[in-house]
Amino acid sequence: MRYLGRTLVRAILLLAGISILCFLFTEMAPGSFFDELRLNPQVSPETIANLRSRYGLDQPLVVRYGRWVKSAARADFGYSIAYNAPVAPLLWGRAKNTLLLTATGMLLTWLISLPLGVWLAARRGHMLDQAFSIASSFVVSIPEVVIAVALLAIVVRWRLLPLSAGPLHGEGISLRTHVQDLATRMLLPVTILVFVESAIIVRHVRASVLEVLGTPFVQAAHSFGICRARVLFRHVLPAAASPAISLFGFSLAGLVSGSLLIEVICGWPGLGPLILEATLSRDLYLVIGGIMLSALFMVGGNLIADLMLLAADPRIRTGALDAH
């Protein structure tokens, strides 16, 4: 409980620090939401000044931050100038779509990566292992955007999937049609996510398992004639789990921010297009809200990873690691 309390306090301080940095950086960034209005000769400078005053943008940074903290305490997280609505409901509406996409992608990624990483580690130096090593280096070195555009181009060129944009929750259609439509639309972005993430996670899992396979206690287990399955499940996997759990924490942390670009490219109505639009139009509080939501998932993901590590590794529980 003490550990949990300490971690929670640290998380709150971290979120406060991120929010302060967000305000400082957005203040330093050039331009504002009303810059385009200034170019319009029909809008007078007084009107713009009135609008700035209405949204509190004429106030000093400290006052604006104070107001935002109060708004965050009410779970509004500021007010979007472009949508003329509180930020939280706007973000949550889109975040649900993003989470549906990223959670599916993450689940599939781990379901593929864990057994594949272990299998490749057990066949170190085999032709398939070498082939995967070259292929994954290739995928890791190419920016995610390029892979997404390339896969999109393949899908469009050969008409592999019906492409559509717009809201996901259509009314007046049966559940089955809705699920089919959802699955079809998710296929491409989820494939891109799984393709890119798996290349990284499989490499990490393979490296962790290889490291444990070389340890004397695993060799000792082999020397007793213990069967490979028992050595794998009783010795190797629990020992290799710690780095994989930390990595899983990072995956959770990236649930909100990991797919933003892919959503924009594939036309998925998640947070990606919303944040991009808000950034381009300088919709200050919406951008800050998006960053804070991402930070919240990062802190939450790391907290879950810490708790999982605590459960998985008795050395952390007994504090023995600290002693060494």
Partner 1 sequence: MANSVRTSEPNHPFLRVQGLSKRYLAGGRWHRRVHMAAAIEIDFEIGKGKTLALVGASGSGKSTVARCVTRLERPDAGQIWLDGRDIAQLSRRDLALVRPGIQMIFQDAVTSINPRFSAAEAIEEPLRIQGKNSSERRSIAEKVIQEVALSPAWLDRSVMQFSGGQRQRLAIARALTTQPKVLVLDEAFTGLDLSTQAQIANLLLDLQAAHALTCLVISHDLTLVTNMADAVAVMSHGRIVEQGSTRQIVRDPKHEETKKLLSSAKTAESQLARRAGASA
- Which parts of this chain interact with partner 1 (CB under 8 A)? 125, 130, 215-217, 219-227, 230, 235, 238-239, 313-315, 318, 320
Give the nearest distance from C-beta 136 to partner 1 in angstroms. Answer: 17
Q: Which is nearer to partner 1, 4 or 220 (CB)?
A: 220
Find, among 198, 191, 197, the residue nearest to 112 by Cα: 198
Find, among 250, 254, 264, the residue nearest to 94 by Cα: 264
Q: Which is nearer to partner 1, 70 or 222 (CB)?
A: 222
**Distance (Å, rounded) from C-alpha 161 to C-alpha 138?**
26
Q: How far from the centroid of its chain's Cα atoms is residue 135's Cα?
A: 24
Give the nearest distance from C-beta 206 to partner 1 in angstroms. Answer: 18
Helices 271-280 and 284-312: crossing angle in degrees, nearest 10, is 140
Give the nearest distance from C-beta 297 to partner 1 in angstroms. Answer: 30
Q: Which is nearer to partner 1, 70 or 315 (CB)?
A: 315
**Distance (Å, rounded) from C-alpha 34 to C-alpha 91?**
22
Q: Which is nearer to partner 1, 236 or 287 (CB)?
A: 236
Give the nearest distance from C-beta 135 to partner 1 in angstroms. Answer: 15
Q: What is the chain's alpha carbon radius of gyration, rounded to the nearest angstrom?
A: 24
Q: Which is nearer to partner 1, 8 or 320 (CB)?
A: 320
Give the nearest distance from C-beta 229 to partner 1 in angstroms. Answer: 12
98, 190 contact by CB (below 8 A): no
